[in-house]
């Protein structure tokens, strides 16, 4: 009997990344994570358009965090950009994940957003692992497992000639 460090369940449960249940669950997780961000973004767009003033205000109050002066400086000097990019970014990240297109690239931005939420909210009353941190881990999971390849458009996009000519694009897709 061989021991597989990469997939210790292979003998008993056949939990392969190409397996039906894995594909089903990763696609489901991706769509729900996408909906979470899409809902957050599109409701901001409906209410405030591209002038989400709470964005820069939120960053300006992030003093004394592990990110040092970066968020405060962003809030002070990039306010106009953040007002537009928070609702637009959340919506596009959510859309990307739901349809499964450019999932890894979208998830990198998702990690960026969630890092700021996790550090900025600083609601650690029940420990460091809170819902913001779990959201951050979800986006990292999307990147590591390339979930766009499971019932997502990335599975189709990766078969195009462009991606075959430039295989590194798969690091942004998938």
Partner 1 sequence: MQQHTTVIDKAAMALSGGLMLLGVVVLGIVEILAGKPYSAAPLTNDAGEIIATPMIDPTLRTGLVLAGILVLALYGLYKLVVPMENEATTAQQEITAD
Residue 65 lies near partner 1 (rule: CB under 8 A): yes
Taking CB under 8 A as the criterion, the residue among 23, 79, 88, 115 binding partner 1 is: 115
In Å, how far are 37, 136, 157 from 163, measured between CA atoms? Answer: 27, 28, 7
Distance CA 173, CA 163 (A): 9
Taking CB under 8 A as the criterion, the residue among 15, 50, 122, 134 binding partner 1 is: 122
Residue 141 lies near partner 1 (rule: CB under 8 A): no
Residue 99 lies near partner 1 (rule: CB under 8 A): no
| Closest alpha carbon to 88 in 126, 130, 51 | 51
Taking CB under 8 A as the criterion, the residue among 118, 145, 148, 173 binding partner 1 is: 118
Residue 29 lies near partner 1 (rule: CB under 8 A): no
SS3 content of the chain, % helix, strand, coil (to 5): 65, 0, 35
Taking CB under 8 A as the criterion, the residue among 64, 159, 162, 165 binding partner 1 is: 64
Taking CB under 8 A as the criterion, the residue among 3, 128, 159, 161 binding partner 1 is: 128
Q: Tokens 């999307």, residue? A: 142
Determine how many CB atoms are found less than 10 A away from the CB of residue 127: 7
Residue 15 lies near partner 1 (rule: CB under 8 A): no
Distance CA 101, CA 171 (A): 12
Residues that bind partner 1 (CB under 8 A): 6, 64-67, 108, 111, 115, 118-119, 122-129, 133, 136, 140, 143, 167-168, 171
């Amino acid at each position: 009997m061989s021991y597989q460090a990469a997939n210790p369940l292979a003998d008993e449960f056949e939990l392969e990344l190409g397996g039906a249940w894995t594909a089903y669950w990763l696609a489901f997780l991706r769509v729900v994570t996408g909906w979470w961000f899409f809902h957050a973004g599109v409701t901001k767009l409906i209410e405030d358009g591209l002038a989400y003033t709470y964005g820069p205000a939120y960053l300006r109050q992030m003093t004394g965090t592990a990110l040092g002066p970066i968020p405060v400086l962003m809030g002070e000097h990039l306010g106009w950009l953040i007002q537009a990019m928070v609702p637009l970014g959340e919506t596009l990240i959510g859309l990307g994940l739901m349809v499964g297109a450019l999932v890894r690239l979208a998830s990198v931005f998702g990690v960026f957003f969630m890092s700021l939420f996790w550090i900025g909210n600083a609601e650690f009353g029940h420990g460091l692992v809170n819902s913001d941190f779990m959201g951050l881990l979800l986006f990292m999971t999307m990147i590591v497992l390339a979930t766009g390849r499971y019932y997502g458009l990335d599975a189709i996009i990766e078969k195009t000639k462009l991606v075959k000519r430039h295989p590194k694009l798969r690091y942004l897709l998938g």
